[in-house]
Amino acid sequence: MKIAQSQYNFDRIAKAIGYIQEHRGEQPDLRTVAEAVAMSPYHFQRMFQEWAGVSPKHFLQFLNVNYAKRIMMETRLSLLDVAGRTGLSSPGRLYDLFVTIEGMTPGEYRNGGEQLHIHYHFAHSPFGDILVASTGKGICFMEFADDRENTLVALKSKFPNAKYSLGKDALQQNALAIFERDWRDLGEIKLHLKGTEFQYKVWETLLKIPMGGMTTYGDLATFIHEPRACRAVGTAVAKNPVALLIPCHRVIRATGCIGNYHWGCERKAALLGWEAAKIRT
């Protein structure tokens, strides 16, 4: 009976997602979508959040932003025209949507970091080669570089129109010193990150996990007052652009398993072991 009910609920959510995608240009509200799947708005909102990890409103916002991004990449239409073709009432709504979802304005997305000058440097660490990059404001990218060429491509894909220079600066040297000094000094490191409001909230919470400590995705979701958003929290953790500086490796599964890690499960286990040894010395 439970399996049949679960399948029935999934079918309704799948139908709702299809409805939202088909009618995206009409910007359907919660009541309209709920009626399309024969549910009350209250129960539909709760069930959609449980299955999709985000609210119906946020799901529609993601669709709007992705559609607008495609238009801006393929055309040189004005923001007024982009807003109109997206189904939004004004450029102001498009602006607010981009800031909320993408962590940047539509203009900043379109120019792809055109005004930025990024310095990058490959360095060695106890856990393999690492690529660290910085703007004049702080560290904007830090990833383990098992394949240097692909990691550099990943950096440039985030800021496709920025100017790049190979070289180490004081910001990078300060960040790389994490392998030599107490992690409690990390407040001295400046970051220049691009993310959504939700991602910033998750990343800020990760910074509060002490060295040698661990937490779960569920506990993170509860801490930011979004207890049903475990999937969205997991996605935000995976989008962390600065390995180690924001300690996403300290998040494990509720079962106690290490879980996935963007730079490899073995490296995650090594990092946790290294930190545990550090706090005992």
In terms of Cα–Cα distance, which of 191, 131, 175, 130 is closest to 156?
A: 131
Length of the chain counted residue by residue = 281
Cβ atoms of 101 and 62 within 8 Å: the answer is yes
- Per annotation, catalytic residue among 140, 230, 248, 257: 248
Cβ atoms of 64 and 24 within 8 Å: the answer is yes
Neighbours of 12 (CB within 10 A): 18
d(CA 9, CA 90): 36
Is residue 248 flagged as an active site residue? yes
Cβ atoms of 104 and 194 within 8 Å: the answer is yes
- 3-state secondary structure (DSSP) of residue 104: coil
State the catalytic residues.
248
